Structure 1
Amino acid sequence: MALKLANVTKSFEAHKVIDNIDIEVGDDEFLVLLGPSGCGKSTILRMIAGLESVTSGEIHLAGHRVDQLPPSERDMAFVFQSYALYPHMTVRRNIAFPLIMRRHRWWFHLPVIGGLAKRRIERSPEVREKVERTAEMLALTKMLDRYPRTLSGGQRQRVALGRAMVRQPSAFLMDEPLSNLDAKLRTAMRAEITQLHQRVGGTFVYVTHDQIEAMTMGSRIALLRDGTLQQFGTPREIYETPANTYVARFIGTPPMNLIAAEVTQGTLTVGALRLPLPDGTADGNCGAVWLGLRPGALRLTALGAPGTLPGTVCLVEHIGAESVVGVTLDGLHTAHDDDGAPTREVMVTLPGYAAHKAGERVGIACDLTAFSLFDRSSGARVGGDAARS
């Protein structure tokens, strides 16, 4: 495996911030560490880089244990959230800086002699070729003699990427590199980083709290909560078969609806609806569960139509290609919202510009070709992949 974290734990005095993390990714994979602020994802990245020590466990890169090595010997490049460019250096010197420091000598600190030596290295054919090739890949060729203060946010981000690329490291580590950009530029930079990974290969480890970045960029996602790994898998696995209610509610916009239901004698009961479960879906008598349905698996019908749940429209949002409609269910509970308050609302996505209005009475039809079941007390998934028929 290209990168392996084995039983990695991190504590600050008596407070455990990372608890027994196990992750393995192969060569040329793009790993995304995803989760809310404070969940420990940046701490994991810093431990991989060597900027934080590991309390227990091991970190391996390309088959070699690296958690006991200093950062300079780990063959990794770190792209910071703040770009961390040198304002007094041109783009060319910023990109070349890691190559210059590779040949660092003590006398480089001497004002005149050190400056001459650094310029000589920068102008050497080998360094010049690497810098210009990297700049060409990132569309920075025309900016090589400019200073960071004259660049836009996206251009500065590309310079920071170029400084990491020029070293040709075994692993690229990125700590929320797009969080300072506006929405349009983030979309463009997501595509650029994905294409960069496809061109240069190597292992990428990318930290974000943005699920869209995770789902569109990652080949594997590690979803964290309070320092514990909730689920590790491909974007499709995490979206279609969430391991628990936390994952189900974190992934997806709007998130998965979780509706109170019962499973007895192989039958799923939701309000007044009784639906037979496919064979092998779950224990036929697992009792109280949450029925998980993505907003696209629900549709609105006339009130009282057969096989529907009654409710009242409470919210309508038009977002261009689709509309999001919130419906308050009659007599049914749904999973608690983010602040812990109980709710009875479900979200439905409809194509186009929906004509529904708040206060309208409707029926909700459920498409059970793809659903999930979760134990109502523990939140854990019931029946594994079998809840997809």
Structure 2
Amino acid sequence: MASITLNHVAKHFGSKVAIADIDLKVEDGEFLVLLGPSGCGKSTLLRMLAGLETVTSGEIDVGGRRVDQLPPSARDMAFVFQSYALYPHMTVRRNIAFPLIMRQFKWWFHIPLIGGLAKRRVERSPEVSELVERTAKTLSLTELLDRYPRTLSGGQRQRVALGRAMVRKPEVFLMDEPLSNLDAKLRSAMRAEITRLHGRVGGTFVYVTHDQVEAMTMGTRIALLRDGVIQQFGTPREIYTSPANTYVARFIGTPPMNLIEARVEGEAIRIGEALLPLPVRLLPAARTAGGGAVLLGIRPGALRIASPSEADGLSGLVSFVEHVGAESVVAVGLARARTAHEEEDQVAGEVMITAPGYSELAPGAAVTIGLDLSEAVLFSAETGQRLSGEPATAN
């Protein structure tokens, strides 16, 4: 397997910039997730790695070898498509074996009768049949080898597509939203399957998704893109606890991080009429703010419904409550404080709280909110960039 290095890689479609001057280093054996909304450039970047899109400028190196000027067949990468791209007229066995058959391709394979016999001979050769059987066993496909794709479920088809990639033993596995066509339960099972596959194979994986749950649970590192620009590159823990800017803060997390308008006053922060002492960890960031306006980023799990007598609480009215099994999501409109959110579907001045168990609160109820600032982050009110300080601890 091999590392991947992108040096000032860019992609333009006419006057539109799809990828803007990206530098990225993926270590050998990593599971990199390219994350972002539709149209952010993540699939374009993956296709440039595979050689399906040309690079406008920059270089791509794999294992120390420059590959951006090589055809896809010479890059030693396996691509798993969103649509599976299985051959409907071939059995599962032949679909998995097909890359190995094509490695031994000869011109007479095009002759109908002779070509068919030659392909079957390659497929039944000991080295090919043994590898196909071993791969099928790894993916629990042994009983399906003689069936056709049309008779398989979505999850089974996805495993066949993975098997076809595995038999090639490539340097790099590329996956373009392979689970997007599956239902929620099957997606969860396949996330675990791909993660285990990465552990067994030990290869370098590059995985594209718009689903933050997939990114957080599968990736060793995440590159979060917006409009062709990497907003943050780091481990799932780093991106969750110390987002680089307000876009990352709002993209990662369900519900996303709350952004509350505030002002630094010495070693305290003022939110509406409440003046809260800052933890030592946030003091360097507060000094960077210079006593000005900031955005206080705080996860819903670091907020709680407090006693009405709590001195450092924020008052508000419950907007709605969602019960999601082990916890409840409570939306509260703040009485004397404002929030800053880019989403049109979130009301200004409203924060989200995750409370354990089944909440008995009803819309319209007056509540007091307590804040645990030990897990908070400060952002510049002007630029949206995180102000320097020690990283937060995970909630």
TM-score tier after normalising by the smaller chain length: over 0.9
Q: Which residue of 2 aligns with 1:369?
A: 374
Q: CA deviation at 1:4?
A: 1.1
Q: 2: distance between equivalents of 1:158 and 1:341?
A: 39
AA of the residue aligned to 1:370? E
2-structure distance, mates of 1:135, 1:183: 24
When the two structures are superposed, what TM-score results if normalisation uses the length of structure 1?
A: 0.97
Q: Give the alignment partner of residue 344 of structure 2, picking from 323, 330, 339.
A: 339
Return the offset for 1:81: 0.2
Counterpart of 2:284 in structure 1 is: 280
Q: What SS does structure 2 have at the residue aligned with 1:385?
A: coil
Please give the residue correspondences for 1:19-38 in structure 2 after superposition, counting only pairs within 5 Å.
19-38=20-39
Q: CA deviation at 1:387?
A: 6.0
Tell me how far apart the structure 2 counterparts of residues 218 and 387 of structure 1 sit (CA, whole Å): 20
2:92 and 2:149 in contact (8 A); partners too: yes
1:231-310 to 2 correspondences below 5 Å: 231-277=232-278, 278=280, 279-283=283-287, 285-310=290-315
Asked if the contact 2:51–2:68 (Cα under 8 Å) also holds between the matched residues in 1, the reply is yes
Could you tell me how far apart the structure 1 residues matched to 2:317 and 2:260 are?
A: 16
2:327 corresponds, among 319, 322, 325, to 322
Q: Give CA-to-partner distance per residue, 1:326-359, whole Å, 9 cap, x none.
A: 0000121101241387611000000010111100
* Bigger mean CA offset, 34-43 vs 338-347: 338-347
> C-alpha root-mean-square deviation of aligned residues, in Å?
1.5
Which SS does the other structure have where 1:167 is aligned? coil
How far apart, in 2, do the equivalents of 1:143 and 1:297 lie? 48
Alpha-carbon contact 2:241-2:392 (below 8 Å) kept: no
Distance in 2, Cα, partners of 1:17 & 1:339 = 25
AA partner of residue 249 (structure 1): R
Q: Which runs of 4+ in 1 moved over 4 A?
A: 386-389
1:281, 1:387 within 8 Å by CA — same for their partners in 2? no
Closer/same/farther in 2, CA of residues 387 and 168 from structure 1, 3 Å limit: closer
Question: How has the CA–CA distance of structure 1 residues 291 and 388 changed in structure 2, closer, same or farther, with 3 Å as cutoff?
Answer: farther
Number of the residue aligned with 1:137: 138
Mean Cα deviation higher: 240-249 or 336-345: 336-345
The residue identity in structure 2 corresponding to 1:216 is T
Q: Trace 1:42-81 onto structure 2 (pairs within 5 A).
A: 42-81=43-82
Cα distance in 2 between the residues matched to 1:384 and 1:104: 59
User: Following TM superposition, by how much is the alpha carbon of 1:302 offset from its aligned partner in structure 2, in angstroms?
Assistant: 3.3
Percent identical among aligned pairs is 67
Q: Conserved in 1, the CA contact under 8 Å of 2:263 and 2:293?
A: yes
Q: Distance in 2 between matches of 1:326 and 1:342?
A: 10
Q: 1:380 aligns with which of 379, 385, 389?
A: 385
Summarize deviations over 1:308-327 as a string: whole Å, max 9, x none. 00000001000100000000
Pairwise CA distance, 1:386: 5.3
SS in 2 for 1:283: helix
Q: CA contact under 8 A between 1:11 and 1:17: conserved in structure 2?
A: yes
Q: Which runs of 5+ in 1 are unaligned?
A: none
TM-score of the aligned structures, taking structure 2 as reference length: 0.96
- Counterpart residue number, 1:350: 355
Give the aligned residue type for 1:280: P
Instruction: Judge conservation of contact 2:242–2:391 (CA < 8 Å) in 1.
Output: no
Which residue does the alignment assign to 1:179?
A: 180
Residues 372 and 388, structure 1, Cα contact 8 Å, conserved in 2: no
Mapping of 1:35-184 within 5 angstroms? 35-184=36-185
Alignment size in residue pairs: 389
Distance 2:10 2:61 in 1: 14
1:268-295 per-position Cα deviation (integer Å, ceiling 9, x unaligned): 1111222333243432515111100000
Q: Report matched runs for 1:219-230 at 5 Å.
A: 219-230=220-231
Q: Is the 8 A contact 2:293 2:381 kept in 1?
A: yes
Cα-to-partner distance string for 1:3-44 (whole Å, 9 max, x where unaligned): 111111000111111001111111111000000000000000
Provide the secondary structure at the position in 2 that maps to 1:128: helix
Judge conservation of contact 1:32–1:220 (CA < 8 Å) in 2: yes
Decide whether the 8 Å contact of 1:304 with 1:310 is kept in 2.
no
After TM superposition, give the deviation of residue 143 of structure 1 in Å: 0.5
Structure 1 distance, partners of 2:327, 2:219, is: 25
Q: Matched residues in 2 for 1:341 and 1:151: separation?
A: 41
Q: Which amino acid aligns with 1:36?
A: P
Distance in 2 separating the partners of 1:185 and 1:288:
46
**Cα drift, residue 306 of structure 1:** 1.2
Partner Cα distance (1:264, 1:386) in 2? 21
SS of 1:369's partner is: helix
Secondary structure class of the residue paired with 2:94: helix
